[in-house]
Copies of this chain bind each other. A is one copy, B any other.
Amino acid sequence: MKITLEYIGEGDTVIDATAGNGHDTLLLAEAAGESGKVIAFDIQETAIEHTKALLQEHGMLDRVKLVKDSHEHLEKYLDKGSRPSAVIFNLGYLPTGDKSITTKADTTISSIVTASKLIKLGGIITLVLYSGHEEGKQEKERILDLLGQFSPREFHVAYTSMINQPNNPPEIVWITRKK
Contacts and interface: CB of A to CB of B under 8 A. Distances in A.
Interface residues of A, number: 20
A148 B157 CA distance: 23
A100 interface: no
A138 interface: no
A163 B149 CA distance: 8
A96 interface: no
Contacts of A144: 163
A94 to B, nearest CB: 26
B166 A162 contact: no
A173 B162 CA distance: 10
B152 A165 contact: yes
Contacts of A155: 164
Interface of A: 144, 147-152, 155-166, 173
